[in-house]
Amino acid sequence: MTSFVRVLRSLRQWPAGLHLELTPDPVTECLPAHVDDMDFTDYRSSCDPRLNPEQSAEVISRFVALL
């Protein structure tokens, strides 16, 4: 996301939006690459891009901070 914003800004463009796959369910579908211990009871797959409410809020807050 940081690179996305940086590249657009270098081209004098504005990141006009952000598309996220969200779910109100308490899932853990997206994990950082460095996670070795899969001790998540709510982890369902390695390919589902949904974010839970806490993850969504974190991504949005980081995106806004880059603007």
- Show me where the domains of the chain are located: 20-66
Of 7, 8, 2, 6, which is closest to residue 63 (Cα–Cα)?
2
The mean pLDDT of 46-66, rounded to a whole number, is 83
Residues 31, 4 contacting (CB under 8 angstroms): no
Q: What is the pLDDT of residue 40?
A: 60
The mean pLDDT of 49-56, rounded to a whole number, is 82
56 band by pLDDT with thresholds 50, 70 and 90 = confident
Q: What is the pLDDT of residue 44?
A: 60
1-39 tens-digit pLDDT = 889 899 999 999 998 888 888 888 777 666 666 666 666
Contacts of residue 57, Cβ cutoff 8 Å, sequence gap at least 6: none
Tokens of 67: 């603007």
**3-state secondary structure at position 51:** strand
State pTM to two decimals.
0.62
